[in-house]
Structure 1
Amino acid sequence: MSFERIQEKLKILADAAKYDVSCSSSGSNRSNANKGLGDATGMGICHSYTEDGRCVSLLKILLTNYCIFDCVYCVTRKSNDIKRAAFKVQEVVDLTINFYRRNYIEGLFLSSGIFKNADYTMERLVAVAKKLRLEENFNGYIHLKSIPGASDELMREAGLYADRLSVNIEIPTKSGLKRLAPDKKHEDFIKPMAKIKNEIIQYKAEKKIIRSTPKYAPAGQSTQMIIGASGENDFQIMQTSNHFYKNYNLKRVYYSGYVPISYDNRLPQIGSEVPMLRENRLYQTDWLMRFYGFDVSEILNEQHQNLDLDIDPKLGWALRNLHEFPIDVNTANKRMLARVPGLGMKSVHKIINARRFRKLNWDHLKKIGVALNRAQYFIVCESNQFERRDLTSEKIKGFILQNSTSKYRADLSNQLNLFG
């Protein structure tokens, strides 16, 4: 195979992979062994960022963009008139090793269209990881996209060579999937997720007894949902995420705004891209659920089915629950401190530690790093300075948005002054 043909394949299959955003490498601790290449300890894989803000690993490719399915939201669907290409297993192995030796990458994110059938495709994905581990002694990060419908045996083998596995559920609801991808079944996504979850639990339990037990998908599993292709509201999307977090022990759910790429009466029209801000609000809600102790029903419910794009979801919750505030930062428990807009978890821990030695005032909170432009409306402390009381949620929202706009303009002005 000529160098030019490999380059052409790389261009086609790297471009096709950009729509999959579930490429985080957090959580793995695979260390270098036997003087092999690389490791996935600590920071793991390096990342690049596309022009639209998506996070992309430096070697993020499809094995092939041929596909037997015709999902209307997918750029690689079989009816789409695009250039097709396919890597051989050894070509992906060689690319990974050569790129690593040149310090271009620290790992591999490998996905694929489905050609022939699920098992045929999954066998080749596993073969890439297996060759890298056993023949090249590569200890860097490997993330494999699991193919829905692949056998349990292949899923088990994949987890022994990959750091993370992901099964993309693609559309948040069964009805949406049936309408836009009639060839696919919801159960084909659920079965491998359950298999991965059970294998991770089993291998961890066995390792406690037998130290030589190998690691199975040490960075866990993740999934991705396409947002805006099938019309689900934010409440439905986050309910689905909550279900998978609770029942399948997922590390991450990724939200990818649908980008209209062709006309189909089942899809949003070209030019109606999902705002990046909506993706951001979904990620913020996800963060609140996983790290701040919020239940999804507190942020989104039947009465409040979509997130406010103007303000972050924690502020939105606080404004709808003003009866919970103000709280005293010197006495409030961790749960309520974490619910104050402008207080991150690091600030919460700093406050809890600092108030053991003295009562905190506004100056202390500012030094700790609290965003007082938001927090001041929801807390009291040792000083009465800055406190505003008897304000409605609409007025508080207006003040915060006004302060945010003023700060943005001031920052922009300072940047312009730097350049004359």
Structure 2
Amino acid sequence: MAQLDTREKLAILADAAKYDASCASSGTAKRNSRDGKGLGSTEGMGICHAYAPDGRCISLLKILLTNSCIFDCHYCINRKSSNVRRARFTVDEVVTLTLSFYRRNYIEGLFLSSGIIRSSDYTMEQIVAVARILREEHDFRGYIHLKTIPDADPELIHQAGLYADRLSINIELPTERGLNRLAPEKSGTRIRGAMDGLKTAIVDGHDARRRYRSAPRFAPAGQSTQMIVGADSANDAEIIGSASQLYDDYELRRVYYSAFSPIPDASAILPLKRPPLIREHRLYQSDWMMRFYGFAPAEVAAAAGPDGMLPLDTDPKLAWALKFRDMFPVDVNRAPREMLLRVPGLGPKAVDAIVKTRRWHALRLDDVGRLTNSIAKVRPFIVTSDWRPVRLSDQVLPMPKAADTQLELFGG
């Protein structure tokens, strides 16, 4: 096989990394360069995959150390039996690329994952070495997200947490039966055990920092995971339940959903086509309902149909409201915050503004309109001092048109 240069490796390994959706982050350590030293200062701003809190686009160098792998997971394009062009970076090549891209202002951080080569421990050692050299030898202060390997020695994962802002361990598939069928070499028990160990280390690290300012940071942006949607038979209700359990058990910052994408020379047990991308979008919306709107998993699942699938033509918050019409309309001048969050078109910011404003005067429909993006969406579900719709249970509301299929939960 011809020797590849760095540019060719980058083309292969950056493309191979696109299937991992879990490289976003909602937080990082506040490192700065007030002393005039160090590279990649975050200057206290949160790091995320697309945009910083100030609206500025954040870019990460997102690559695999290698797309070679000793595992043969059916859904993975980099599986052992896959007929793809292989490449592998050395540790020094990844370090050099990261620093070069940063100095050219292309990136502000690194997301590094890898196929498994030789063994889980060997691969994890290589990943940790990249982060260690960046931090210790080059004083790199940018964002680092490392994908950790569940079967690796816990001490290696602990070392990764001392250098990385965020660690993630992919749960892979929503159900144990799906994992057994499509990735029989992987163990759901080992994956969850590694996630639990990581949770404990993060909690201990935060506790140590509260007690001793000199204690080292450990994965200050927490841990995340990813599950593939549409590769197995799991329905949306099962996925919602699995995600909720992961949040509760391991205090995850995020669960990412990645729609299955058909791969060349695919196994016969895989679907022939990818699920609609709107399904992935609806799952993210349901995730927000649980995390920010106070819905219990069973309530979110109630928005699904008899087959356990969320409707594709309606966002799940609206679907839930239409199923429970007798709970509406809601009086914005009297209802508790928890109930206002269930009104389609009202997001947390709008609800907080309503609760604050109504202490001083009764809200009219125009007042609510100034606090939300679409008063037309909100109006059938609320009562104000000058507006009372027909009771929602008596209304026949038109279903969204095709152009409205991207209805968002996040009004306000």
Task: With the length of structure 2 as denominator, give the TM-score of the two structures.
Answer: 0.91
Q: Map 1:86-101; keep pairs closer than 5 Å.
A: 86-101=88-103
Distance 1:4 1:186, change over 3 A: closer
Partner SS for 2:181: helix
Q: CA deviation at 1:406?
A: 12
What residue in structure 2 maps to residue 286 of structure 1?
A: 287
Deviates more, 1:184-193 or 1:149-158: 184-193
The answer on whether the counterparts of 1:46 and 1:58 sit within 8 Å (CA) in structure 2 is yes
> 1:264 and 2:259 equivalent?
no
Identity in percent = 50
What residue in structure 1 maps to residue 275 of structure 2?
A: 274
Q: CA deviation at 1:94?
A: 0.4
Q: CA deviation at 1:322?
A: 1.1
- Code of the aligned partner of 1:286: D
What residue in structure 2 maps to residue 359 of structure 1?
A: 362
Which runs of no fewer than 5 residues in structure 2 stay unpaired?
A: 52-56, 408-412
> How far apart are the structure 1 equivalents of 2:268 and 2:238?
22
Deviation per CA, 1:35-78, whole angstroms, max 9, x where unpaired?
10012331326649xxxxxx994410000001000001000001
Partner SS for 2:144: strand
Distance 1:280 1:123, change over 3 A: same
The answer on whether the counterparts of 2:110 and 2:143 sit within 8 Å (CA) in structure 1 is yes
> How far apart are the structure 2 equivalents of 1:277 and 1:56?
25
Q: Map 1:11-410; keep pairs closer than 5 Å.
A: 11-32=11-32, 35-40=37-42, 41-44=44-47, 47=50, 57-261=59-263, 262-269=265-272, 272-300=273-301, 304=306, 305-369=308-372, 371-384=374-387, 387-389=389-391, 392=394, 395-398=396-399, 401-402=400-401
> How far apart are the structure 2 equivalents of 1:82 and 1:265?
18
Partner SS for 1:108: strand
Deviation per CA, 1:240-285, whole angstroms, max 9, x where unpaired?
100110010000000000011133221101xx21111100100000
RMSD, aligned CA = 2.3
Distance 1:210 1:390, change over 3 A: closer
> How far apart are the structure 2 equivalents of 1:251 and 1:289?
13
> How far apart are the structure 2 equivalents of 1:407 and 1:13?
32
> How far apart are the structure 2 equivalents of 1:405 and 1:69?
42
> How far apart are the structure 2 equivalents of 1:101 and 1:88?
20
Deviation per CA, 1:360-381, whole angstroms, max 9, x where unpaired?
1111111112522221111111
- Code of the aligned partner of 1:368: L
- Code of the aligned partner of 2:301: L
Partner SS for 1:77: coil
Distance 1:370 1:332, change over 3 A: farther
The answer on whether the counterparts of 1:314 and 1:341 sit within 8 Å (CA) in structure 2 is yes
- Code of the aligned partner of 1:320: K
Distance 1:404 1:79, change over 3 A: closer
Q: CA deviation at 1:299?
A: 1.5
- Code of the aligned partner of 1:154: L
- Code of the aligned partner of 1:228: G
- Code of the aligned partner of 2:181: R
Deviates more, 1:25-34 or 1:340-349: 25-34
- Code of the aligned partner of 2:323: R
The answer on whether the counterparts of 1:64 and 1:112 sit within 8 Å (CA) in structure 2 is yes
The answer on whether the counterparts of 1:203 and 1:215 sit within 8 Å (CA) in structure 2 is yes
Partner SS for 1:188: helix
Deviation per CA, 1:149-176, whole angstroms, max 9, x where unpaired?
0111001110000000000011111110
Distance 1:86 1:331, change over 3 A: same
Distance 1:406 1:69, change over 3 A: closer
Distance 1:27 1:45, change over 3 A: closer
Distance 1:158 1:407, change over 3 A: closer
Q: CA deviation at 1:327?
A: 1.2
> 1:7 and 2:7 equivalent?
yes
- Code of the aligned partner of 2:274: E
The answer on whether the counterparts of 2:58 and 2:107 sit within 8 Å (CA) in structure 1 is no
> How far apart are the structure 2 equivalents of 1:8 and 1:38?
26
Alignment length, in residue pairs? 395
> How far apart are the structure 2 equivalents of 1:406 and 1:62?
35
Deviation per CA, 1:160-200, whole angstroms, max 9, x where unpaired?
00000000011111110110111111122112211110011
Deviation per CA, 1:188-233, whole angstroms, max 9, x where unpaired?
2112211110011111112222110011000000000000001100
> How far apart are the structure 1 equivalents of 2:78 and 2:401?
44
The answer on whether the counterparts of 2:258 and 2:280 sit within 8 Å (CA) in structure 1 is yes
> How far apart are the structure 2 equivalents of 1:405 and 1:136?
50
Distance 1:36 1:4, change over 3 A: same
The answer on whether the counterparts of 2:95 and 2:133 sit within 8 Å (CA) in structure 1 is yes
Distance 1:360 1:209, change over 3 A: same
> How far apart are the structure 1 equivalents of 2:233 and 2:194?
26
The answer on whether the counterparts of 1:242 and 1:296 sit within 8 Å (CA) in structure 2 is yes
Which runs of no fewer than 5 residues in structure 1 stay unpaired?
A: 49-54, 409-420
What residue in structure 2 maps to residue 52 of structure 1?
A: none
